[in-house]
Amino acid sequence: MTATIAQSQVFRVSAARWVRKPSSAVLMGVGLALPALCFLALFLMIPAVRLIAAGFLTQDSRGALGGPVTLSHFTHFFATALYSHVLVVTLRISLWTAALAAVLGYPVAMVMTRSHPAITRIVTFITIAPLIVSVVVRSYGWQLILGNGPAGLLNYVLLSTGVIQTPLRLLYSETAVVIGSLHVFLPMMVLPLASALGRIEPHLEEAARTLGMPAWRVFHRITLPLSLPGLAVGFTLVFSLTAGSFVTPAMLGGTNAQMLGNLIDQQITAVYDWPFGATIATVLVAIVVSVNLFSMRVLDGKRRASA
Amino acid sequence: MSARLTGGMAWLFYPLTAATMLFVLAPLAVIVAMSVSANAFAAFPPRGFTLAWYGRVLADPDFLSSLSFSAMLAAAATAGALLFGLPAAFALTRCAVPGREALRVILLSPLIFPVLVVGVALLRLFSDWNSNSAPFNLLIGHILVTTPYVVRTVTASLLLADLSLEEAARTLGAGWFRVFRRVTLPQIAPGVAAGTLFAFMVSFDNYPISMWLADAQYVPMPMLIYRQVASIFTPAVPATSTLMILFAFVVVVLMERLAGLRRAMAM
Amino acid sequence: MRRRQVLGAALPLVFIRGATAAPRSIQVGIYTAQQGEYVRKQIIPKFETDFDCKVFTTEGVTLTQIAALRATRENPRYSVMFMDDIGVELSKRESLIDPLPADKLPNLPGVLPRFMFYDGYGAAFAISTGGIVYNPQVTKPLASYAELWEPRFKQKFLMTTPKFTQSLYLLIAAASLITGKPLKEAQYEIDSVWPKMAELKPNVVSTYENPSQVMMVAQGQVELAGIEYSKNLFPYTVQGAPLDMCFPKEGTFAGVNCLTFVKGGPEPDLAAAFINRMLEPAVQQGLAAATLTSPSVKGATFAPDIAKYIAYPESKMNEMGLFTADWTFINPKRPAWLEKYNQVFGS
């Protein structure tokens, strides 16, 4: 009994299991996905291709795009130290934010799915509510908290309790951007993770406990691996969203933590250098796609390994 | 019922969660504090105490029309996201569609694209098509950015659903719709609920898309707030944000009642 | 003729002219903040009644407005666009706007000649002054822009984002400092200004985009902010915030808000009537007093408590050294300078 249930809980490549004849399943699959595909093809793919293409074109003084086809924008991007630096900063901030979101989000997700309903409700609400508060206003709140000098709320608290002697310089740094981004995107980690955790069959864990496994081992060997899809979803989501953001880096990082999103914003709104803006956007998209593909590979690998 | 957290795990996770909750609440607390300040400007620490700003915000016709428009837009966008996203999630996980990896990348791509760029690109597109209806354009843009959330969360749920139950139901003679409704749907309820909640909230607070596609009559909340912050930053702005938090509370409670979010998650 | 709602049910009405026709309407791009609100709430309703039409507005800054014009070039949605003088040059060059239809604008001759731009493509309707924001309770007003570089302001200067026009003013001021020339001539020497800007870096704590950030000066987190426009600052001063603006001796920068006529925009006659309304003396007077900006027409008068905030009349403008830049020269160089700004002030 336990073995069957355990087996059913293990990930399977679902392609192996369907009841209908193969061809009609494929047809049904195509039919199911078609509306979404058409929608996306029309409203995202076409503009996306136009955008990426723009990175290889030239813009005349009238603002129109056309020939000659050129790699100059890309070479300019990679040859100028400024942009490589911003690229590295973007990667660093996004990775840190995603990693911290995983570390902080996991306990929250565990509590959300394995507590008294009242606690679950409170935790859910606190986690989700910030999503609806404008990111500009939230960042302003963080500015006040992380303010440099004794007037900043955090500094005020730490100084008066004697934890530190000199005020911390947090505002306008990469750290501040990580903190702000973490605050904005934490729900994006917690909710997929909670969804994955909530569906883990409790009998598995109970069985392991009755067999004498200590609690931490149960977590390490059963809960954690089974929640991996949710964790991966959350990680890549937080990474992708942080990498493309521009409001939080502008307000909390200023000149010290410029990210690719800020550069794109500048190109589009300030100088309207569409090809160069497209170039930066393409680099950003390439990074994010790579991370997403990598995590999907790892996930599928794990899934097939345990099938 | 999922096992409750006990023993060593509980000692570790509960304090960590409490600390994280404090982290999440900190800037919100600052915002709420600013909203009751008697100052003419939003300042911290607040001086004096007054609820007058809330009165002003609630009486402001711009605020009310913006709020209702954003709510309707978010609801419609969520419906659209479910309409496109649910079947797509099924196609990804249950059917041997050729090129599934590519399909998945495409379905999730709106998350990958810088939102700012998507907004401008859509503006160009709609202009070329002479599509001048802001609500329509906004709806398209919002469905675009919310569908991936639904696809992601539902896919995660589908992967963990117990296929043997579905097989059992089918061998017992249930039609595919019955199987879907009675066996699959309850299992993926947390994924669907999470996706719906996400979609609604993301649409509600979306600034980069709305910025390009909105017009004078149809002003989503984020634009109203941004405009007010750029104008004079009085305590009315934090008051508006506090009202948004209350609104979020209502939405979460509603979700609970309708979709049994809590029950589904706590199992 | 041109504008159809995609979801609208206007199709049958097209064939029934007259009684059931929808009222004429135009879309106008206006500025944000108090000025935008005044236009929406005071100027437009009366215009709508007088001309039996609807005026829809979108608020934005010059650059987003121009981006919108560029994106809708093939099918213009806007009829009138408010933009800074820098935007007029850009829009004219990219054929986004047409010259103002002088024959339909009886109020146009009332505009001061210095506020007509680029051969009649733009007419100013409100002018603010650009200077440095400071807290009068804490800091003395700057006598010269050179003081900005002094060590006492280390990490105390909040600089306007290079995305905005004001950042260019700072470059011009720096050029004036190193060359000793007046602003009018110094603006052509910006390319040599970067070493001097690098010297400013220790004083710059960060850049800001949102005008509400000037509150950091009031709260003591920074001492100076700028270069900022008076129209964004004086509303705070009037309300009692410890904020004021100083205009160092090198000169006062003019933030000129202009009216433009969108090329191929719907309802050109209505658009012209709206532009004409914006230039009417009574409207100019009301707008200036309410938003603490200078009008662009001759003959307005103000009470002393308002007049002190406004650069008006023309004699006062000359006294203050009110300066508008040569955007024809500057605009093409902007992308390169933005990059240099990022390089110098980035981490």
* A88 Cβ contact list (under 8 Å, min separation 6): none
pLDDT (0 to 100) of residue C100: 94
Q: What percent of chain B has pLDDT over 70?
A: 91
A with C: how many residue pairs have Cβ under 8 Å apart? 80
Q: Is A292 on the interface with B (CB under 8 A)?
A: yes
Residues A69-94 pLDDT 10s: 889 899 999 999 999 999 999 999 99
What burial letters (b/e) apply to B2-19, b meaning 16+ CB within 10 Å? bbebeeebbebbbebbee
Element housing A284 (H / E): helix A274-305
Q: C75 CB near a chain A CB, below 8 Å?
A: no
Q: Does the structure show a pLDDT above 50 at A3?
A: no
Q: Which of A30-34, B198-202, C249-253 has the lowest mean pLDDT?
A: A30-34
Between A37 and A29, the more confident residue is A37
SS3 (DSSP) at C222? coil
Q: Is B116 close to A134, i.e. CB distance below 8 A? A: no
Q: Measuring CA to CA, which residue among A113, A162, A145 is closest to residue A252?
A: A145
Answer yes or no: are the C-beta atoms of C270 and C53 closer than 8 Å: yes
Neighbours of chain C (3+ CB pairs under 8 A): A, B
**Can you tell me the distance from the alpha carbon of C136 to that of C240, in angstroms, rounded to the nearest whole number?**
12
Q: Which residue has the tokens 């409001």?
A: A247
Write the pLDDT tens digit of every residue in C96-141.
Answer: 999 999 999 999 999 999 999 999 999 999 999 999 999 999 999 9
Position C112 scores a pLDDT of: 92
Work out the average pLDDT over A222-237.
86
C-alpha to C-alpha distances, C61 to A78, A143, B70, C67, C115, nearest whole angstrom: 31, 24, 23, 10, 20
Closest CA to B215 of C195, C56, A161, A267: C56
SS3 A259: coil
How far apart (Å, rounded) are the C-alpha atoms in residues A69 and A87?
25
Q: Which domains does chain C have, with CATH numbers?
A: 11-127+255-312 (3.40.190.10), 129-254+324-345 (3.40.190.10)
User: Averaged over C154-162, what is the pLDDT?
Assistant: 93
Q: Please give the structure tokens belonging to residue A258.
A: 């410029």
- Exposed/middle/buried for A165, CB within 10 Å: 0-12, 13-18, 19+? exposed
pLDDT tier for residue B267 given thresholds of 50, 70 and 90: very low
User: A17 — contact with chain B (CB < 8 Å)?
Assistant: yes
- pLDDT for B7 equals 65
Q: Using the beta-carbon criterion (under 8 Å), do B44 and A199 form an inter-chain contact?
A: no
Q: Which residues pair with C245 in a beta bridge?
A: C133
Q: Which domains does chain B have, with CATH numbers?
A: 61-266 (1.10.3720.10)
**pLDDT recorded at residue A2:** 40
**C21-56 pLDDT per residue, tens:** 567 889 999 998 788 889 988 999 999 999 999 998
Nearest CA in chain B to A107: B13
Pick the most confident of A186-200, B207-221, C199-213.
C199-213
For residue range C196-208, list pLDDT tens digits in order: 999 999 999 999 9
Domain locations in chain A?
73-305
Answer whether the bond into residue C12 is a cis peptide, omega within 30°: no
Q: Is the pLDDT of residue C11 over 70?
A: no
Q: Which residues of B are less than 8 Å from A90 in CB distance?
A: none
Show contacts of A267-270: CB within 8 Å, 24+ apart.
A268/B116, A268/B117, A268/B120, A268/C67, A269/C63, A269/C64, A269/C67, A269/C163, A270/C63, A270/C162, A270/C163, A270/C164, A270/C334, A270/C338
Task: Please give the CATH architecture assigned to the domain spanning A73-305.
Answer: Orthogonal Bundle (1.10)
Q: Give the pLDDT confidence of A112-160 residue by residue, as tens digits.
A: 888 888 888 889 889 888 888 888 888 888 988 998 877 788 888 888 8
CA separation for the pair B211, B219 (Å, rounded) = 9
ipTM of this complex: 0.83
Site of tokens 């589009």: A268
In percent, the amount of chain C with pLDDT more than 70 equals 93
Q: Which of A50, A194, A284 is opposite residue B114, by nearest beta carbon?
A: A284
